[in-house]
Chains A and B, each alone.
Chain A
């Protein structure tokens, strides 16, 4: 099961955070993010993409200036999650057309929607890019009409 999904830039600033566990106070959350990002950023390219953090495994992958981090429990397939991260990036890329940090910052609602289409409650729902983006396109059309 996925416990959280984080997108941070290489300065360690959070750009998107989705938690699937409840009961995390804001202070604890910030501390957790700082700690994980710090450890993740300090890793070298040669090292494997997994790090152990408390009772979680964190799987991370770097795309240009953005780090994608996913925290999972013991049972999850680490390599599968790497693939999921890649799928998420490709989907964001397809929707935003060459996604970059600013796209995420200024369209955080859309980014969250994409994530919600892909994973819910810590489980993966959908991995087909077309299916994921379809509802977003509909919303975009509706809001254009309204304007």
Chain B
């Protein structure tokens, strides 16, 4: 005997470990299952109750689903209540059970007891499937006109679900809106408003029609705002805030794009948007909704400014919640109201220092949003001020924003360099890689600033507070590269910088335990550059480099050895270490793109490099297809097949998948275009890298230390190429988005092509047809049996699900109806209980039954079914066998 609910809960609570809980639950689940098997009617409600609890704890409970059905079919209210509760909690995806519940729910919807109807409605509202809702729509429609407001509001919410899941049913409910909104009961009005919202969202054309409601809504809102205290729906002094903000939200939809409607709302919006206090959450909630509405509809500029001012009031308030929503709303208004937003700069910047990270993040976005050429200097300074206190992740965000700000609005290169140096020193190592590449490229293209920058960096380097690795790397690169300029000019200016000092500094840094190996690479390179830039220090530099020839780090060792050797080849040392060419990003990119597209046009797709790219492309495309599919749950069978195939081949054999891909992509024009796009950006990436390598090779060739040199100069190039690749990555992202869209369009083409290639896909198409339309398997004596098929999966095995509908169009009722099904040995069939044994005449009713067929063997089989129909018509018993073998379903 299983225990009481109370005892189960106590037992679980008493468990000290998760393992113990699992044991208790497993034991109890077994007992419950047993009890279900014995058809223990008395304990059924209790068992379901326990299952609800078990389900909540996260344990399996599917076996209770059918029992819920038995409970709701029970006339007792208490049983029904638990049954419906179980149904809406335990049954999630099981279409079968839902389908079987349809008729019981239909009965309950017409029950005399309004609480029973209420239960049925609640279950429908929470779990109703599209089929159920489509079937029951007439009943729901009727209940929306019911006298009881209790049922009316629930039915309206079911209607909303129906519209969401079965959009074409929207017309049915449009007519109901006016009476619902005109009701006195707040609950009904509230659901009515939500109904309009969902109609408007599904069918935007209806907005024009619903604009007629605006005056009424405005009146309603006015009376709520002016109502003061109403005992029934009072929330800390505010009359029904839920109703208020739902009206405001609906007004937003209706006012968008209509000057006339917006004008009608202006007065009340001004009143709501300016009068409310901001001390209580309720008040802020309404203000917030009003402000969003004002900013979305066609309101005049004065009202918009008021709205922005209100939000700014939120920002200076105490509540973090209101700050959060205000920042979010302001972010949306950044593009439309830049001027008035900028006036509130101070408050926004203040939010950067808030304790809450989510608020700071939003404030950062907003600060960036209001940035322009004029205020970039001061705002960047504000951001820099936040840097020292910010935590690691946030530092990364801030430096990223500063980089973008520099790219977009930098007034001059000197400012850019100063800012970047500040970021490098304050930001420490938690900064974006962009910073260093931006720095090197801006110095490269500004000969006038090379002295200024290197001097500044050198001076900061002397102060050991700022010696973070990124800064060390950048500064040693700059000082090495422009060492001659630095030394010559500083001598002229009488600065206290000289080469010995610089070399000493480098040596100290090299020996410091805080310097990472990677930074040491940069320093060594800077040293060797120094030897060509300034004469007379070769011996000293050699002395510094010498010990690193035996360093544990191989890379460092290699560099040291190569550099050391380089001193013996004076005639080539200078050209190798010559100044980096000025870096022009955009032109290079364009050239590469042209080159690549030319190559592709010529059809030179055969070298290895490109093959790998094709594989990459394929993976991209596959991912894209998958994502597209995920969004389109309707299940396009062909593509599903395609996908599973490719998924399998990918890891196993790249060549295979390549062939497969070429097959797919060697097709129509528009498709290869798409492919080209994809390839373009991949090639870009690669060419950039090889471009860098090429440079290095040119320098190193004929040296005898080819590879090493190549490495070294490549590294110098790296800083430059880094930036390029990053830009490309961004491009890639953009392009993949485009690709996704394109793939969306290309899906149809995909389908057609695959079909011609593959016979089984042809079958799939047929299958889809069958799935869409019911298949008549029997028609005699007015009895019509229709089946529709759906191919799917049950626990991993391919299966066909079928719903069998039997109707009787003759004028004689049919009784003792029984349908039996047999399938070949390779299949296994399972038929559910019919929804009834009698079929009323003249097509006034139907018997529903579900059939599930699972495949037992591996190979593809065609579906064939043997039916035996038994029924009594006119007192005469008829038994008939029929074989149905022409079903075009292969699975």
Contact = CB atoms under 8 A, between A and B. Distances in A.
Interface of A: 14-20, 22-26, 29-30, 33, 46-52, 75, 77-80, 82-84, 86-87, 105-106, 108-109, 112-113, 116, 120-121, 123-128, 130-131, 135, 138-139, 142-143, 146
6 contacts: A26-B55, A47-B356, A82-B281, A127-B242, A131-B187, A135-B150
Interface centre among A15, A16, A106 (most CB of B within 10 A): A106
Contacts of A143: 78
B56 A83 contact: no
Contacts of B55: 26
A128 B233 contact: yes
Contact of A139 (B115, B153, B241, B357): B115
A78 B154 contact: no
Q: Is the interface of B mostly helix, strand, loop or mixed?
A: helix
Interface centre among B164, B187, B282, B284 (most CB of A within 10 A): B187
Nearest to A27: B58
A139 B81 contact: yes
Given A51-B358, A77-B289, A79-B281, A125 B325 contact: no
Interface of B: 5-6, 9, 13, 49, 52-53, 55-61, 77-78, 81-82, 85, 88-89, 92-93, 115, 118, 121-122, 125-127, 129, 150, 153-154, 157-158, 160-161, 164, 186-187, 190-191, 194, 232-233, 235, 240-242, 245, 249, 281-282, 284-285, 288-289, 320-325, 355-359
Interface centre among A15, A23, A116 (most CB of B within 10 A): A116
A97 to B, nearest CB: 19
A23 B93 contact: yes
A26 B122 contact: no
A26 B58 contact: yes
Nearest to B234: A128
A77 B161 contact: no
B325 A78 contact: yes
B56 to A, nearest CB: 6
B81 A48 contact: no
Given A14-B56, A125-B153, A126-B153, A48 B122 contact: no
Contacts of B78: 142-143, 146
Contact of B235 (A30, A50, A83): A83
Contact of A108 (B52, B118, B288): B52
B160 A121 contact: yes
A63 B284 CA distance: 21
Given A116-B88, A124-B190, 4 more contacts: A77-B245, A113-B85, A121-B160, A142-B78
B186 A128 contact: yes
Nearest to B320: A48
Report the 8 A-B pairs with minimum CB-CB distance, sorted nearest first. A79-B285, A48-B320, A30-B58, A120-B125, A121-B125, A126-B187, A47-B356, A48-B324
Contacts of A127: 186-187, 190, 233, 235, 240, 242
A56 to B, nearest CB: 14
Contacts of B160: 121, 123
B159 to A, nearest CB: 9
A44 B320 CA distance: 12
A20 B356 CA distance: 30
Nearest to B82: A109
B390 to A, nearest CB: 16
A79 B325 contact: yes
B190 A46 contact: no
A146 B77 CA distance: 11
A19 B55 CA distance: 13
Contacts of A23: 92-93
Given A22-B93, A23-B92, A26-B58, A125 B154 contact: yes
A120 B281 contact: no
A135 B56 contact: no
Contacts of A87: 235
A45 B437 CA distance: 41
Given A128-B186, A135-B115, A121 B356 contact: no
Nearest to B77: A142
A46 B320 contact: yes
Nearest to A84: B242
A82 B288 CA distance: 13
Contacts of B57: 14
Interface centre among A20, A26, A80, A130 (most CB of B within 10 A): A80
Contact of A50 (B49, B82, B241, B324): B324
A2 to B, nearest CB: 11
B61 to A, nearest CB: 8
A116 B697 CA distance: 72
B232 A128 contact: yes
B158 A128 contact: no
B344 to A, nearest CB: 19
A106 B50 CA distance: 11
Contacts of A146: 78
A79 B288 contact: yes
A24 B55 CA distance: 13
B641 to A, nearest CB: 22
A80 B187 contact: no
B233 A108 contact: no
B555 to A, nearest CB: 41
A24 B52 CA distance: 16
A29 B58 contact: yes
A109 B82 CA distance: 7
A131 B188 CA distance: 12
Nearest to A142: B77
Contacts of B289: 77, 80
A79 B154 contact: no
B58 A83 contact: no
A52 B358 CA distance: 9
B282 A20 contact: no
Contacts of A84: 242
B200 to A, nearest CB: 12
B320 A47 contact: yes
Nearest to B92: A22
A26 B154 CA distance: 28
A20 B322 CA distance: 27
A125 B281 contact: no
Contacts of A82: 281, 285, 321
Nearest to A29: B58
A34 to B, nearest CB: 9
Contact of B58 (A14, A16, A80, A120): A14
Given A82-B285, A120-B157, A109 B52 contact: yes
Contacts of B161: 121
B143 to A, nearest CB: 13
Contact of A48 (B49, B288, B359): B359
A58 B118 CA distance: 29
A105 B321 contact: no
B516 to A, nearest CB: 32
Nearest to A138: B115
A127 B285 CA distance: 15
A82 B320 CA distance: 13
A146 B240 CA distance: 38
Contacts of A139: 77, 81, 115
A73 to B, nearest CB: 12
Given A79-B281, A79-B284, A109 B81 contact: yes
A27 B115 CA distance: 34
B541 to A, nearest CB: 53
B57 to A, nearest CB: 7
B321 A49 contact: yes
B129 to A, nearest CB: 8
Nearest to B292: A77
Given A22-B127, A126-B153, A131-B187, A50 B358 contact: yes
A116 B9 contact: no
B45 to A, nearest CB: 10
Contacts of A80: 241-242, 245, 285, 289
Nearest to A112: B85
Nearest to A50: B324
Contacts of A121: 125-126, 157-158, 160-161, 164
Contact of B356 (A17, A22, A46): A46
